[in-house]
Amino acid sequence: MKKIVVMISGSGSNLEAIIKACNAKNINGEIVCVISNNPHAYGIERAKKYSIPTKIIDHKEFSKRDDFDNALEDILDYLDVDLIILAGFMRILGKNLTHKFYGKMINLHPSLLPLYPGLNTHAQALNNKDKYHGISIHFVTSKLDEGPLIAQGKILIKEDDDIEKLIARIHKVEHDLLPKVINELCLNNIYLNCESHKVMYSNILDSKMFVTYFNN
């Protein structure tokens, strides 16, 4: 069973989806710690509700970005984790840290990358009158939202979608697809070839897993 750390900055709805999947044995792993850079993140309360250890590393307490990364690296080394999930973690991590954990750290991003890296993805999709919107799960590098793609969840934008409706629909996609990808990573059915930077998939996986369509 793999040891998982989930890193958050906000409400932690995806964290709770991962916790429930672990408790239901739908993920071959256990969350050993939830780390937040925001001491007021509601996700901390979600973790405590399930008796999961938490660690706060407040980025505001560090004058240099590298010092924050070093503190984070220390706790990850101590926990000796197999997989690190950035689920609404709103900090850009530096080259040393992302290089060290390359292939073990993944990020959930709310757009169909390479479209809309960074913030305000839902508003951009609506303002640009895109036909589709979705999420991307990718391995983390030091470049913002540019790591090798693992899987994407895609939805058709409806005529009556406003930003609140679109966000609610996207959350459903996140809560469905992210735990499935985490489980496949824990089973080593998905892994990163760090030399070629290619994501490898086991033959048992449906070839369509890379882009999954949702009709919610």
We report the CATH number of the domain holding residue 84 as: 3.40.50.170
Q: What is the pLDDT of residues 145-164, one digit of tens each?
A: 999 999 999 999 999 999 99
Q: Which domain holds residue 46?
A: 2-214
CA 67, 62, 88, 116 torsion: positive or negative? Answer: negative
Is the distance from CB of 135 to CB of 183 less than 8 angstroms?
A: no
Confidence class of residue 205 from pLDDT cuts 50, 70 and 90? low
Give the pair of three-digit tokens for residue 59: 């980025």
Count CA within 13 A, CB hemisphere, residue 175. Answer: 15
Q: What is the pLDDT of residues 73-106, one digit of tens each?
A: 999 999 999 999 999 999 999 999 999 999 999 9
Helix ranges (H only) for the chain are: 13-23, 42-49, 65-79, 95-100, 121-127, 163-186
Quick check: 203 pLDDT over 80? no
Give the pair of three-digit tokens for residue 166: 């679109």
Domain tally for the chain?
Answer: 1
Bond prior to 179 in cis (omega within 30° of 0): no
Query: Tell me, what DSSP letter sits at residue 10?
Result: S
List of E strands, 52-116: 54-56, 83-86, 105-109
pLDDT of residue 145: 94
Cα separations (Å) of 159 from 6, 24, 111, 156? 35, 36, 18, 10
- Which residues are known catalytic residues? 109
Quick check: 207 pLDDT over 60? no
